[in-house]
Every structure is written in structure tokens, then in C-alpha cells.
């Protein structure tokens, strides 16, 4: 199993005799959150590039629990954590970001996702049932619900992606360490230009998030 094919994981670290747990919710700041933890506890340099080997080398194999499955596979491990952090992203923005990540990235090319010449969002939606058989697509375009579960009450801290700075502040208060913001990748799309019909199609795929409160009003 290679790191890039691991669909999700529970990050678990000890801070001041407290166990902090955060489930990696792809395309919702999880790599940045990993880096903030590394900065606070191990002096990492600011970076938005995922480095799972560095994480395991720094914090040990028990700190990165990975399974092929959904939130239900992590319920017990998460419940055992004193501090449980959920970072979520608006469903439409999350899906579109996942589309660009899988269909225009080097990983997408390596896995044959670029075979279609017409890599538009609507074409992707037309064939979504086919594309989501690919683990990377399923992972990066999945609902917040699949990763975080249906109940916000299971977490001690619930943060939307646009308030990820609160996680940085929380870590600084817990550790007393200076944590630097990371330079985010430039967005390659403008959500305001997505037609309403396309947006509605995405919402129908991400409907669980609207049922469970993982969305922006």
C-alpha cells in the first residue's frame, strides 16, 4: 500500500497529557493542520506539502491510524481522544477542489484519470459513478459526512476551513510555540462562475452534508 492511496486516517498526538485526535478530511485543510501540529511539537518548517513519512518518523506509527473505510471505522479511537477536532469545508467547494485535484494533478495523470479529453466539471459529473470507483476520486470528492460522521457533537472543536486559524491559535495556547501560517496553493477556479444547474448536481451528490449540518449558510 502506498501513502497516496490511503483514503483517510486519524491523526493522534499527546499534548500536555491530553490526547488530540483529528480525522484527515481531504480538501479541508488536513495537510495544513498536520503541518501546524508538526510546527508546534517538533519544529517543522511551514509547508502545504503532505509528508506522511515525516509524521510517522516524528510521532510514531500509532499517531497515524489508517484504514480503508469511513468514519465508523474510527469511532472508538476518536472517542478515546480528549480533544477531538473536526475541520470541514463547504460541500460544493470541497467537491470542486477534489475534482481539480484528481483530474488535473500529477496523481491523476499517473492513475489514468486524464484519458478523457474533455475534463470539464459537467463531464466529470456525467460520469461520476465511474470516476468514483477510483480511490483518489472517492477520497478527495467525498462528503464531510463520510470522513467526519453525521454528528458534530462527537467533537470538542468544530471548525470550518476558513477558520483554520483557530486551530493554529489553539495549538499555540496549548504548547506556547509560535506557529507560522503556510502559503496555500492558489485556487484554480471561481465558485461564483459555476452555473446553478451544475451546483445543484453537486449538492445532490453531497446531500448528506446538508442533512448533517456540514455546510455554510
Confidence band, pLDDT 50/70/90 cuts, at residue 69: low
Pick the residue with more confidence: 102 or 85? 85
Sign of the dihedral defined by the CA atoms of residues 144, 145, 149, 153, in that order? positive
Rounded to the nearest 5 degrees, what angle is found at the Cα of 9, between the Cα atoms of 2 and 11? 120
> What is the DSSP pairing of strand 18-23 with strand 83-88?
parallel
Among 29-33, 137-141, 186-190, top mean pLDDT goes to 29-33
- pLDDT category at 1 given cuts 50, 70, 90 is very low
- What's the pLDDT score for residue 18? 95
Q: Please write the tens of the pLDDT for every residue from 131-182.
A: 888 777 888 899 999 999 999 999 999 999 999 999 999 999 999 999 999 8
Output the 3-class SS for 16-70.
CCEEEEEECCCCCCHHHHHHHHHHHHHCCCCCCCCCHHHHHHHHCHHHEEECCCC
Q: Is 113 helix (H, G, I), strand (E, B) or coil?
A: coil
Residue 200, H or E segment: helix 196-205
**Of 127, 158, 171, 153, which Cα lies nearest the Cα of 35?**
171
Structural domain boundaries in the chain: 3-184+191-212
User: How far is residue 144's CA from residue 147's CA, in Å, rounded to a whole number?
Assistant: 5
More confident residue, 41 or 138: 41
As a whole number, mean pLDDT of residues 87-96 equals 96
Q: Which three cell numbers stand for residue 72?
A: 465508523
The CA-atom distances, in angstroms, between 182 and each of 43, 44, 46 are 14, 12, 5
Residue 2 DSSP label: -
Amino acid at each position: 500500500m502506498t501513502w497516496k492511496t490511503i483514503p483517510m486516517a486519524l491523526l493522534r498526538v499527546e499534548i500536555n497529557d491530553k490526547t488530540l485526535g483529528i480525522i484527515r478530511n481531504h480538501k479541508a485543510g488536513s495537510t495544513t493542520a498536520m503541518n501546524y501540529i508538526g510546527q508546534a511539537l517538533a519544529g517543522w518548517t511551514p509547508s502545504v506539502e503532505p509528508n506522511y513519512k515525516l509524521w510517522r518518523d516524528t510521532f510514531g506509527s500509532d499517531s497515524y491510524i489508517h484504514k480503508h473505510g469511513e468514519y465508523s471505522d474510527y469511532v472508538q479511537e476518536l472517542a478515546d481522544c480528549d480533544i477531538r477536532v473536526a475541520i470541514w469545508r463547504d460541500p460544493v467547494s470541497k467537491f470542486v477542489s477534489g475534482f481539480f485535484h484528481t483530474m488535473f494533478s500529477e496523481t491523476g495523470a499517473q492513475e489514468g484519470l486524464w484519458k478523457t479529453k474533455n475534463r470539464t466539471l459537467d463531464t466529470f459529473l456525467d460520469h461520476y459513478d465511474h470516476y468514483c470507483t477510483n480511490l483518489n476520486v472517492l477520497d478527495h470528492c467525498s462528503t464531510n459526512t463520510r470522513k467526519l460522521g453525521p454528528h458534530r457533537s462527537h467533537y470538542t472543536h468544530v471548525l470550518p476551513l476558513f477558520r483554520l486559524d483557530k486551530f493554529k491559535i489553539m495549538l499555540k495556547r496549548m504548547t506556547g510555540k509560535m506557529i507560522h501560517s503556510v502559503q496555500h496553493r492558489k485556487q484554480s477556479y471561481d465558485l461564483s462562475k459555476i452555473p446553478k444547474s451544475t451546483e445543484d448536481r453537486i449538492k445532490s451528490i453531497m446531500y448528506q452534508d446538508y442533512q448533517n449540518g456540514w455546510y455554510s449558510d
